Amino acid sequence: MNAMSIRNPVLLLHGRISSHLQMSKLADYLSHLGWRTYSLSFEPSTGELGLEHWARQIKDYISKNFSLDQPIDLVGFSMGGLAGRYYLQCLGGVEQVQRFISISTPHRGTWTAYLLSHLGCCQMQPNSPLLRMLHRHIECLASIDCTSIWTPFDVVILPASYSILPIGNSVQIPVLWHDCMPFNNRVLQVVAEALTQ
């Protein structure tokens, strides 16, 4: 069996106020290298119903598209990465996911989340009850391979270092704007490298 045939399918998770199209360049890049990629579009895309709501959509999508014995990998951008983390830590995702890659995800929150008052943004405020809960139970992520990719120039995740997941590997890539991360060629390469570890 060659390496390509044993690669896990990859589920791509977009960020707030977007759709699966935000991950299209990454999907094309990984498909060209031999991965099977899947994407969903969160509803509502604003995240106003909270991270739990997005995480349940992830769980439902996985249960409909993959058998229980099929290992998969998750790649999430921004709020999509945080929803993926909630799925892993709170909805049993660590039982099926082998690799979790987050791109510019506010693992420790972001001060820009104070600009809006709906639930999803409140949950991304630094030291929110949800983020404190995820941090208290972070040891469950030790059973999977985690990589956080971030840019020191992020002005959406403030401070930018709050994108570093405090477990697994972190990779700093100097991209000049948050929304450019899933389109940056170096980010794409690092994702592919992390998926082969």
Helix spans in the chain (H): 24-32, 51-65, 79-90, 119-123, 129-136, 185-195
Token pair recorded at residue 137:
């139970």
Does the pLDDT value for residue 37 go beyond 90? yes
Classify residue 20 as left (phi > 0), alpha (psi -120 to 50) or beta. Answer: alpha
Residue whose C-alpha is closest to residue 140's, from 90, 99, 103: 90
Residue whose C-alpha is closest to residue 62's, from 31, 28, 87: 87
Residue whose C-alpha is closest to residue 47's, from 35, 55, 59: 55
Q: Give strand pairing partners of 120.
A: none
Helix spans in 116-184 (H): 119-123, 129-136
Kindly indicate the confidence band of residue 2, based on its pLDDT and cuts at 50, 70 and 90.
very low
Domain that holds residue 132: 3-195
Does the pLDDT value for residue 182 go beyond 50? yes
pLDDT digits (tens, 9 = 90+) for 25-34: 999 999 999 9
Quote the pTM value. 0.95
Computed over every residue of the chain, the mean pLDDT equals: 96
Using only C-alpha atoms, what is the Rg of the chain? Answer: 15
Does the pLDDT value for residue 174 go beyond 60? yes
Output the pLDDT for position 197.
87
Quick one: how far is CA 20 from the chain centroid? Answer: 13
Kindly indicate the confidence band of residue 6, based on its pLDDT and cuts at 50, 70 and 90.
confident
The greatest distance separating any two alpha carbons of the chain, rounded to the nearest whole angstrom, comes to 51
Does the pLDDT value for residue 3 go beyond 90? no
Instruction: Give the number of domains in the chain.
Output: 1
pLDDT digits (tens, 9 = 90+) for 77-110: 999 999 999 999 999 999 999 999 999 999 999 9
Residue whose C-alpha is closest to residue 84's, from 94, 168, 18: 94
pLDDT above 70 coverage of the chain, percent: 97
CATH number of the domain residue 66 falls in:
3.40.50.1820
Residue whose C-alpha is closest to residue 89's, from 52, 63, 60: 52
